């Protein structure tokens, strides 16, 4: 069995929760207990059972319940250890911090520790974990920060790469390892304050790559504006105001003949993040994703 492949297939799913619950129960759970463990009904639990069976992680179900096989036990143990102090734990801190920064204007990444979302797998994040996540996200170009000799992670903001990382199915580290999303213009920056008024600025983000500015044709711009107006019309009346404001901001940018592809991508991603974070609906999120594809051509 290709453990890494199977692990990637179930990460963040009910199948993963079921596997961990089975491992914690000693390897076997009744059908009813399995459904309760993953917060699902009997039908949902049966679907999870079929998925675990397809992946070769469980034995044949019986009246006694659903049993893990040796491969399932091994993977369940691996996941538990990873959640305690491993890739799953590190990713939970990185992804949680990234989403928190993208949700509003923040003063410092250290403030994240006092929020309700700064926890995973029943264990709150520590200050050390948040500081390590800040360093990783900044070094990989997923957030911009200002740091001094005394304080790190001041005025954090999510870059375009960071927004794509939030929607990556795998871990944030896997997103970085695969090279992230192929954008044409990376204008992220990391600022370090070394004392007094001396400021060092690193431009270009990942790899310090800067490319030629690109613009859209009039026909493409008109198609995009038509799609934007369609989204604004279908936006629910009770939608969070931040979503409408982000879409309107994108519309205004698309209408400008001075706008570039890079800027429009950034604003489209801002609107998409706002839509996802506020739960405005799958139709709007998919529409914004189509906009991003239209810009990319």
Domain boundary, last residue among 185, 208, 231: 208
- Verify that 11 and 43 share a domain, yes or no: yes
- pLDDT of residue 115 exceeding 90, the answer is yes
Judge if 62 and 126 occupy the same domain: no
For residue 287, the domain's CATH number is: 1.20.1440.140
Q: What are phi and psi of 104, to 5 degrees?
A: -170, 175
Same-domain pairing of 255 and 154: no
Does 200 have pLDDT greater than 80?
no
For the chain, give the mean pLDDT: 81
Measured between alpha carbons, how far is 258 from 125 in angstroms, rounded to an integer?
Answer: 44
In a domain, 213, yes or no: no
Whether 202 and 271 map to the same domain: the answer is no
- For 126-147, the pLDDT digits (tens) are 999 999 999 999 999 999 998 7
| 132, 72: one domain | no
pTM of the entire structure? 0.57
Q: How far are the Cα atoms of 24, 247, 263, 285 from residue 223, in angstroms, in the given order?
A: 54, 15, 17, 18
Specify the CATH number for the domain of residue 99: 1.10.10
User: What's the token pair of residue 166?
Assistant: 């939030």
Residue where a domain terminates, one of 208, 228, 261: 208
User: Does residue 249 fall inside a structural domain?
Assistant: yes
- On whether both 112 and 178 belong to a single domain, the answer is yes
Residue with tokens 């038509």: 226
Question: Which domain range does residue 112 map to?
Answer: 87-208
Instruction: List CB contacts of 194: < 8 A, sequence separation 6 or more.
Output: 148, 149, 200
**Number of structural domains, the chain?**
3
């Amino acid at each position: 069995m290709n453990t890494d492949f199977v692990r990637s297939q179930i990460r963040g799913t009910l199948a993963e929760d079921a596997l961990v619950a089975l491992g914690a129960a000693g390897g076997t759970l009744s059908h009813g207990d399995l459904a309760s463990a993953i917060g699902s009904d009997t039908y949902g639990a049966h679907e999870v059972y079929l998925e675990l069976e397809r992946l070769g992680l469980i034995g044949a179900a019986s009246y006694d319940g659903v049993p893990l096989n040796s491969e399932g036990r091994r993977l369940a143990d691996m996941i538990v250890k990873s959640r305690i102090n491993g890739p799953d734990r590190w990713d939970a801190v990185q992804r949680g911090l990234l989403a928190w920064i993208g949700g509003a204007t923040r003063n410092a990444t250290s403030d994240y520790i006092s929020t309700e979302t700064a926890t995973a797998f029943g264990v709150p994040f520590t200050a050390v974990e948040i500081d390590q996540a800040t360093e990783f996200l900044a070094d990989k170009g997923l957030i911009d920060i200002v740091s001094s000799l005394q304080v790190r992670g001041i005025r954090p903001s999510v870059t375009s790469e960071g927004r794509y990382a939030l929607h990556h199915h795998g871990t944030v580290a896997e997103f970085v390892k695969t090279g992230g999303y192929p954008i044409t213009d990376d204008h992220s920056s990391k600022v370090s304050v070394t004392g007094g008024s001396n400021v060092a600025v690193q431009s270009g983000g990942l790899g310090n790559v800067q490319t030629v500015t690109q613009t859209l044709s009039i026909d493409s711009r008109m198609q995009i504006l038509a799609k934007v107006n369609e989204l604004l019309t279908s936006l629910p009346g009770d939608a969070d105001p931040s979503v409408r404001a982000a879409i309107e901001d994108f519309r205004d940018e698309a209408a400008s003949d001075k706008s570039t592809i890079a800027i429009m991508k950034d604003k489209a991603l801002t609107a998409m993040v706002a839509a996802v974070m506020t739960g405005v609906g799958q139709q709007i999120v998919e529409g914004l994703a189509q906009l991003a594809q239209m810009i990319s051509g």
